[in-house]
Structure 1
Amino acid sequence: MRDRPDDLDEELLRPALTAWGIEAATLDHAPVGFGDHHWIATGAGGRRWFVTVADARLRSYDELGRAMETAAALREEAGLGFVVAPLRAADGATLRRLNGDRYAMSVFPYEEGTAGEFGDELPDADRGRLIDLLAELHTTPPPRTTPARPVELPGRAALEQALADTTLPWLGGPYSEPAQDLLASHAGTVRRRLAELDRLAARPGEPVLTHGEPHAGNVLRDGERLLLIDWDTVGTAAPERDLWLAARDEEDLARYTKATGRAVDRDLLALYRLRWALNDVAEFVAWFRAPHGRTADAEQSWDALTGTLQQLAA
């Protein structure tokens, strides 16, 4: 996130880091990614760590904890070296509560490398390596902590309520009224796309261990090595949950099939592509119905909502 959380005292991070044996000489906010808040902690000797703070209102603490434990198990037990997993605190935990139950904190090794942005296209060689990493992930037995990732939209009920209730104004902040008008103008499209999602979801596919968001923004390139970051959404689902984001053409899909022996289902690729877009709409609608200000993150959310609705209507 670009914005700092208004209701979090950043000085709480320093004593919390001591659970990992980290005495931070400096703590710098890192305005990267979307959804969680990040800092770079630097010790007196110059060693660095990547600190992530998640808003527990957006996902349950238990679910996030299971995801972090799964990533750690993939690195420690399954030996998947491309997994950038959370470090364990002295008590073995990968996640700790912060500021009561509001936030959850995890600490990662600081990895050198370059990441892209969501929507960037990876070079052919990197995309091929990513397909190979996903093939290895999908053929790895899921750790016992791995959450299931059903196709159903978690925010669907609230989205359908927003579509149905057009009389009460949204009063959350400066983007509320424009967002309400925008959704109303695309209501027919969203309802048709939800019906299409239901049709495609009738055959969910055989579940494997998936990353959930293997786009260019979560691929870290360090020389010839590729790493996968951001394992918050790891879980069991059809492999197409990952492949629609990673594969560009039939050659990529053939490469995956050769590595795994699994044929790729084109209907499931369409399902997860559509689910991603509708989930974005649901999350951004919830954002603009809730209290918010005119911030960089709100502006980014507005642009994303506008673009996604245009995409769904195309």
Structure 2
Amino acid sequence: MQDRPDDFDEGLLRPALSEWGIEAATLDYAPVGFGDFHWIAGGRGGRRWFVTVADVRRHTYEGLRLAMDTAAALREEAGLEFVVAPLRATDGTTLRRLDRHRYAMSVFPFADGVPGAFGDERSAAERELIIDLLAGLHATPPPLSTPDRPVELSGRAALEQSLQGSSLPWLGGPYSEPAQELIARHAPMLRHRLADFDRLALKPGEPVVTHGEPHPGNLLRDGERRLLVDWDTVGMAVPERDLWLVAGSDDDLARYAETTGRVPDPDALALYRLRWALDDVAEFIQWFRSPHGRTPDAEQSWKGLTGTLAELS
């Protein structure tokens, strides 16, 4: 996130880092990503760690704990070296509460590499590398902690409520009224897309371990190596949950099929593409119905909402 969390006490971080045996000489906010908050901790001898603070109202604490434990097991037990997994605290845990109700922290090794950005165009060679990584992930036996990732829309109730056309104004901040008007104009289209989603979701599939968000923003380039970060959404689902974000051609899908013996399903690819967009719309609606200001993160959310609705139309 570009914006620091207004209601978070950063003084909680240094004592919490001691649970990982880390004495931080420096602690700098890192305005990267969207959703969680990040700091870079520096120790003696120039060693660094990447500290992530998550709002567990978005994830649920138990769900995030299972995801972090799964990422750690994929790295430690399955030997998947492209997994940038959380470090374990001295008691073996990967996630620690920072307060009673809202924030929790994980600590990662600081991974050198060049990050991408969501929406970056990938070359055919780059896509082949990621397809091969995903084929390896999908063939890995799931750790016991691996959560299920149902195909249902996580924000469907809020989305459907917003499509009912309530006369009560949205009062969260400067983008609330424009967002309400925008959703009202696109309501027929969104109802149609929800019906498309329901039709596509009827088809079952065999689940594997999936990352959930292997887009360029979650990829680090380190020479010939590629590293996947942000495992908050790891879980059991059909392979197409990952593949739609990577495959840019029939050749990519053929490569995956040749490597795994499993032919990607076009309907499942369409389902997860649509699911991503509808979930984004629901999340942006929640954002603009909540208190917000005219900040960089709010501006990014507005661009995301308008762009997503244009893609769905």
Distance 2:305 2:179 in 1: 8
Residues 260-269 or 163-172, more deviating: 163-172
Alignment deviations for residues 180-204 of structure 1 (CA, whole Å, 9 cap, x no partner) = 0000010011100000000000003
Match of 2:295 in 1: 295
Aligned residues: 313
Q: CA deviation digits over 1:203-228, x for unaligned, max 9?
A: 03211110000011111110110111
SS of residue paired to 2:294: coil
Paired residue type of 1:196? D
| Structure 1 unaligned regions, length at least 5 | none
TM-superposed CA distance for 1:239, in Å, is 0.3
What does residue 48 of structure 1 align with? 48
Q: Distance in 1 between matches of 2:98 and 2:229?
A: 22
Q: 1:283 aligned to 2:283?
A: yes
What are the within-5 Å matches in structure 2 for residues 63-78 of structure 1?
Answer: 63-78=63-78
Contact 2:115/2:220 (8 A) holds in 1:
yes
**Deviation (angstroms), 1:124:** 2.2
Q: Would you say the 8 A contact 1:113–1:222 is kept in 2?
A: yes
Q: Does 1:236 align with 2:220?
A: no
Per-residue deviation at 1:126? 1.9
Q: How does 1:135-214 map to 2 (within 5 A)?
A: 135-214=135-214
Q: What per-residue deviation string (whole Å, max 9, x for no partner) do you get for residues 73-131 of structure 1?
A: 00011111110000000010100001322111000000100111111122222211100
* Cα RMSD (Å): 0.8
Q: Does the CA contact (< 8 Å) of 1:210 and 1:236 recur in 2?
A: yes
Q: Deviations over 1:113-163 (max 9, x none)?
A: 011111112222221110000000001111111111111111101111111
Matched residue of 2:54: which SS? strand
Does the residue aligned with 1:306 lie in a helix, a strand or coil?
A: helix
Spell out, residue by residue over 1:271-313, the C-alpha distance to the aligned partner (whole angstroms, 9 max, x if none): 0000000000000001111111111101100100000001100
Residue in 1 aligned with 2:88? 88
* TM-score (normalizing by structure 2): 0.99
In the alignment, is the contact (CA less than 8 A) between 1:204 and 1:268 conserved in 2? no
Q: Which amino acid aligns with 1:256?
A: Y
- Aligned-partner residue type, residue 75 of structure 2: R
- The structural deviation recorded for 1:9 is 1.2
| Secondary structure of the structure 2 residue equivalent to 1:112 | coil
Deviates more, 1:179-188 or 1:160-169: 160-169
Equivalent residue letter for 1:70: T
Query: Which whole-Å CA distance do the structure 2 matches of 1:125 and 1:107 have between them?
Result: 32
Q: Distance in 2 between matches of 1:42 and 1:204?
A: 47
Q: What is the distance in 2 between the residues matched to 1:126 and 1:15?
A: 41
Please tell me whether the aligned partners of residues 211 and 231 of structure 2 are also in contact (alpha carbons under 8 angstroms).
yes
Matched, 1:110 2:110: yes
Structure 2 residue aligned with 1:311: 311
Verify the 8 A CA contact 1:151 1:204 in the aligned structure 2: no
Q: Residue 16 of structure 1 aligns with which residue? A: 16
Asked if 1:28 is matched to 2:43, the reply is no
Contact 1:8 1:99 in 2 (8 A): no
Q: Does 1:123 find its partner at 2:123?
A: yes
Q: Do the aligned partners of 2:49 and 2:110 also contact (CA within 8 Å) in 1? A: yes
Q: Distance in 2 between matches of 1:257 and 1:197?
A: 25
CA distance in 2: counterparts of 1:50 and 1:109, whole angstroms: 6
- CA-to-partner distance for each residue in 1:12-49, whole Å, 9 max, x for gaps? 11111000000111101111111000000000221000
- The residue number in structure 1 matching 2:251 is 251
5+ residue gaps, structure 2: none
CA distance in 1, matches of 2:257, 2:54: 35
| Aligned equivalents of 1:47, 1:131: Cα separation in 2 | 32
Is the CA contact (8 Å cut-off) linking 2:165 and 2:184 kept in structure 1?
no
- 1:68–1:86 contact (8 Å) kept in structure 2: yes
1:245 maps to a residue whose letter is L
Residue identity (%): 72
SS at match of 2:220: strand
Q: Which amino acid aligns with 1:34?
A: F
Where 1:186 maps in the other structure, the secondary structure is: helix
Moved >4 Å (runs of 4+): none
